[in-house]
Structure 1
Amino acid sequence: MLKHPLFTKLAALAAITVLLLFGLGLVEDVVRDRQRYRSLTAQSVADSLAGPQTLMGPMIHSACVESWDEEVGKGDERRMVEKRREFILTAMPEQLKLTTGAAMEERARGLHKVNTYKLKSHITAQWGSLASLLPRSTLKNSRMHCGAPLLMMAVGDARGIRTAQLVLGDQALPLKPGTFHPTYSRGLHAALPESVRGKADGLTATLDLELVGTERLSIVPLGGNTEVLMTSSWPHPSFAGRFLPSEREVSPEGFSARWHLSSLATTAQAAIANGSRICTGGYDDASTQGEYAPGGTTPRDCADSFSVAFVDPVNPYTLSDRATKYGVLFIALTFVAVGLFELMQKLRVHPVQYLLVGSALCSFFLLLVSLSEHLPFSISYAVAASACVLLLAYYASHMLGGLRRGVPLGAGIAVLYGLLYVLLQLEQTALVVGSMALFLVLAAVMVLTRKVNWYGLSKSPRAATAQAVAA
């Protein structure tokens, strides 16, 4: 091995690379830990304030019981036993219009911030015939008993309800907590007079609701025709669920979105009437959870809904995690650049010097995640990158024997940091930009080393001297 110093150095560089990869892994663990802490912070805020909210309703329901007498037994043991069937009658609105505005309120736990919102909604629901609230016997001579019709509005987390006012026609009705629905229990309700049951000309109800929640709002399109208008000062909405807005405007001052949905396009009415779950995960997920969905619920078990998430696009931990994934490429390209200087300028760089250069590159990612907890991500990136570039340029000037060699190396590393920042800002085109940049780097290395005698580099110094004497 000592007879071939090139192989010895390559082995040392390989060991150094493995050591640096271990260091990058530790940095990634730190980023994941901070992400977990942020998730715990969001959960803590939700536990103290209110979680993600879901609006479902208004709708009218009435709990009914059908009972009948049935003879059981034989001979002298025959007797009459009362049997019963419990069921729920529901009336869905034919027209549902919801106008809502979301005012953002930032909450913090230590260093971590969570987006919460205060929702002010005006909901108008119109019913046609209420014949669906009339109970129908399934057996002859059975007895029917139904509770009072209840107009209910279900929410994801009832702790978030601040104020609510209900007007039925021209009459204000008192609202009470809970829905008395076996599936959608959280929310509010108002008892309706028995006279509305089977009413042919229908009725109209308006509900003004003030609600607070955390990070996401979901809505179930329960009307025969559902129209939703949502506005907010938050400039980074993420629309999800089964339906995207038919119209939307997003600007730095906020967003406005409108949904127009028909019952011909959604099975929400039938799903809610059958007690289906309300889920908040993606429709294509293998399993999903929500306010009314236990773990393991599949998308087929869920009623249709759509949602808006008030996301922070500059999540420092997400961006830091993406940046750390490029750490191996940074180390490789920097080692290639130092190796080229060593090769083209006939220099000798010790493996320890490679280790120090790689350690400086690794420290960048740790600086980035720590600074981004206190400063905006762009400023944190600029500070961390500038510090590492200046340090590496200064060290390279001594390692490579002068400013003429150290400054170009520092400039090259600065270009790498600039390229990485661009890649972090891109989402759809990050792969193509990164691939093109890597190809250009490879092309430059091939052009610069096109005349290098690689076999000559692998000869021992004694063999090279003997060959020179013989020549």
Structure 2
Amino acid sequence: MENPIELHKPSNAPKPSFLQSNTAKMIMVGMLTLFLLIPLNLVQNLIRERSERKNDVTQEVTETWGENIHFYGPILKIPYKTYSETAIVDEKSRETIIQKSASIQYAYFFPNTLENKTEVTKVDDIKRGIYNPIVFKANMQFNGNFENAALDKLNIKTEDVLWDKATVLIKTTNLKSIKSDLKITLNKKKFSLESKPDEDNYFGTLETETFTYVPNQMIAFNFDMKYNGSDNIQFVPVGKTTTTSINANWDSPSFIGSFAANDTTKQITSKNFHADWKILHINRPFSQQYDTKIPDLNNYSYGVKLIETVDQYQQNERASKYGFLVIGLTFLIFFLIQTISKKSIHIFQYTMIGLALIMFYTLLISITEHSSFTIAYTIAASAVIIMLLLYSISVLKEKKFPLFIAASLTVLYSFIFVIIQLENYALLVGSIGLFLILGAVMYFSRKIDWNNN
């Protein structure tokens, strides 16, 4: 028996081209995603440019209003004579003659006690255009005393001291922005402070008129200083016992320098802060007295810096760093919907979607400069979500999937906003969120037959 011959009719169905396959579409969407990094990078450059402009304006304002305050003093300054001998040979007698000459040097003594109370008031009405730099007024009150000047520790003989030429000097930055009458009271007698030239390129020097220092006599002092300042205020603990108290109407202080504020008395509220320091001479690696020259003690200062925890440009820059994630996930959502619903989305339409996502960041930075970051983020995200909702309804010719897209974008933008606001837990929350997003993508794509596409 012969086997029947099976006749196969040729199929008339055309074989789909590679360009129409899902693989090709995935490649094109991936290349488009990478291409959109170019305008995203331009937006990031715009954010940096605006941030630099803000820094330039802030520097311009602080140069005229007042820069940071760094205070160092008061210091007791006592002149004394030193002698040098020079051997000279007489040409006629050939005898060696010793000539003795005197020169004036200075000894410097730090106070035994130094107490400081400072009130810092943030000034809100100093604006330049759309920018509002952090500037303040500082009212500082000082009191304390000098005890016996330890001349013996510097090997200075009492007979060489010019007792009637003593002065008190103060070193401080920002001399041009001092707003108070410069007087200091020494044992109930007032002395004027005048600016003096100094070799120090960082600190300016204020010095009193001369007075007579009586050995072994305590000198009590007190004085006030009022400044216009900006950014930070710092002190050098020159007292054998130095205590400092700072109050300010600012909610975001950063305590800086070599000495920490007292944790038991430090208070920070939504409107102001208070901080105390108490520093003993054994806590710092420098002496109470020096001869010839005062050393550079900048590295041993302490104080507070008024900061913006995350300013508007930092928030915009952090948001733009998630741009690639937003574009990639949005394209992935559209691609999965296209694959599941068998509806075609042209690469040009993907391009329009990507450009709308890029526009979010330009809207965000422009609105933020005239409002708060939260309001700007809400407006920009809502505008982009509504635009993509209407566009996807037009492309997909239905409402079910566009509503899902709008809901997904709302969750995505909300998730990124939460990450931007977090500081200590940003990495943890971000990692958990990305894990959940990956799980959702795996769930919705599990039934797609990739072999037939």
- Band of TM-score, shorter chain: 0.7 to 0.9
Structure 2 CA distance, aligned partners of 1:65 and 1:25?
A: 68
> Aligned partners of 1:17, 1:272: CA distance in 2, in Å?
67
Deviations 1:358-407 (A, max 9, x none): 11111111111111111122111111111111111111222233111111
Q: Structure 1 residue 447 and structure 2 residue 443: aligned?
A: yes
Mapping of 1:173-184 within 5 angstroms?
Answer: 173-178=191-196
1:359 aligns to 2:355 (yes or no):
yes
* Residues 144 and 79 (structure 1), Cα distance of their counterparts in 2 relative to 1, 3 Å cut: farther
Aligned to 2:7: none
Q: What's 1:263 paired with? A: 281
Q: Which of residues 191, 215, 237 is equivalent to 2:209?
A: 191
Which residue identity does 2:316 align to in structure 1? Answer: S
The aligned counterpart of 1:285 is none
Asked whether 1:340 is paired with 2:355, we answer: no
Q: Are the counterparts in 2 of residues 68 and 143 from structure 1 also a CA contact under 8 Å?
A: no
Q: Does 1:411 align with 2:415?
A: no
Distance in 2 separating the partners of 1:361 and 1:82? 85
3-state DSSP of counterpart to 2:127: strand
Greater alpha carbon shift after TM alignment, 100-109 vs 7-16: 7-16
Looking at structure 2, the residues matched to 134 and 176 of structure 1 have their Cα atoms a distance apart, in angstroms, of 30
- Do structure 1's residue 122 and structure 2's residue 141 form an aligned pair? yes
Contact 2:236-2:301 at 8 Å conserved across structures: yes
3-state DSSP of counterpart to 2:282: coil
2:391 is paired with a residue whose SS is: helix
Q: Distance in 2 between matches of 1:103 and 1:403?
A: 56
Residue in 2 that maps onto 1:375 = 371
- The range that moved more, 143-152 or 225-234, is 143-152
Output the aligned Cα RMSD.
2.7
1:303 positional shift: 3.1
Aligned counterparts of 2:382 and 2:121: Cα–Cα separation in 1:
38
Query: 1:97 pairs with 110, 115, 118, which one?
Result: 115
1:37 pairs, out of 42, 49, 53, with 53
Structure 2 counterparts to residues 74-153 of structure 1, below 5 A: 76=94, 87-106=105-124, 107-132=126-151, 136=155, 148-153=165-170
Distance 2:381 2:335 in 1: 22
CA positional deviation for 1:451: 2.7
- Cα contact 2:107–2:289 (8 A) shared by 1: no
- Deviation for aligned residue 1:134: 9.2
> SS at 2:390's partner residue?
helix
Aligned counterpart for 1:19 among listed residues 14, 28, 35: 35
CA contact (8 A) 2:240 2:288 kept: no
Shift in alpha-carbon separation, 1:64–1:406, aligned structure 2, 3 A: farther
Is residue 2:411 matched to residue 1:395? no
In structure 1, the partner of 2:184 is 166
The one-letter code of the counterpart of 1:424 is: I
Task: Give the letter for the 2:78 counterpart.
Answer: S
Write the distance in 1 (CA, Å) between the matches of 2:152 and 2:226.
29
Q: 1:420 to 1:264 in 2, by over 3 A?
A: same
Residue 327 of structure 2 corresponds to 331
Instruction: State the one-letter code of the partner of 2:34.
Output: V
Distance 1:165 1:305 in 2: 24
Rounded Cα–Cα distance in structure 2 between residues aligned with 1:415 and 1:77: 100
Decide whether aligned partners of structure 1 residues 131 and 144 sit closer, same or farther in structure 2, where only a CA change above 3 A counts: closer
Greater mean alpha carbon deviation, residues 311-320 or residues 435-444: 311-320
Is contact 1:166–1:175 with CA below 8 Å preserved after alignment?
A: yes
Counterpart of 2:179 in 1: which secondary structure?
Answer: strand
Choose which of 290, 296, 299 in structure 2 pairs with 1:277: 296
Q: Provide, for residues 66-106 of structure 1, a one-character-per-residue CA deviation record: whole Å limited to 9, x for no partner.
A: 23221156974966566777743111111111001011113
- Unaligned runs of at least 5 residues, structure 1: 279-301, 458-471
**Inter-partner Cα distance in structure 2 for 1:31 and 1:109:** 19
Pick aligned residue for 1:69 from 77, 81, 85:
85
1:277-316 alignment to 2 at 5 Å? 277=296, 302-316=298-312
Matching residue of 1:288: none
| Partner amino acid, structure 2, of 1:56 | Y
Say if 2:51 is the partner of 1:55: no
Query: Structure 1 stretch 181-190 or stretch 46-55: which is displaced more?
Result: 181-190
Counterparts of 2:245 and 2:71 in 1: how far apart (Å)?
14
Contact 1:54–1:155 under 8 Å retained in 2: yes
Q: Equivalent residue for 2:268?
A: 250
Q: Relative to structure 1, is the Cα distance of residues 223 and 195 closer, same or farther in structure 2, using a 3 angstrom cutoff?
A: closer
Secondary structure in 2 matching 1:54: strand
14-23 vs 68-77, which deviates more? 68-77
SS in 1 for 2:35: helix
Number of aligned pairs? 429
What is the match of residue 464 of structure 1?
Answer: none
Contact 1:91/1:133 (<8 A) preserved: no
Letter in 2 for 1:32: R
**Relative to 1, partners in 2 of residues 1:307 and 1:272: Cα closer, same or farther, differing over 3 Å?**
farther
Q: Secondary structure at the match of 1:114?
A: coil
Q: 2:113·2:144 contact (CA, 8 Å) conserved in 1? A: yes
Distance 1:221 1:137, change over 3 A: closer
| Higher radius of gyration, 1 or 2 | 2
- TM-score normalised to structure 1 length: 0.84
Moved more, 307-316 or 359-368: 307-316
Deviation at 1:15, TM superposition (A): 2.6
Whether the 8 Å contact between 1:390 and 1:410 is mirrored in structure 2 is: yes
Q: Select the residue among 428, 431, 449 that pairs with 1:435.
A: 431
Matches of 1:406 and 1:66, distance apart in 2: 91
Distance 1:333 1:275, change over 3 A: farther
Letter in structure 2 aligned against 1:252 = S
AA at the equivalent of 1:114 = P
2:148·2:217 contact (CA, 8 Å) conserved in 1? Answer: yes
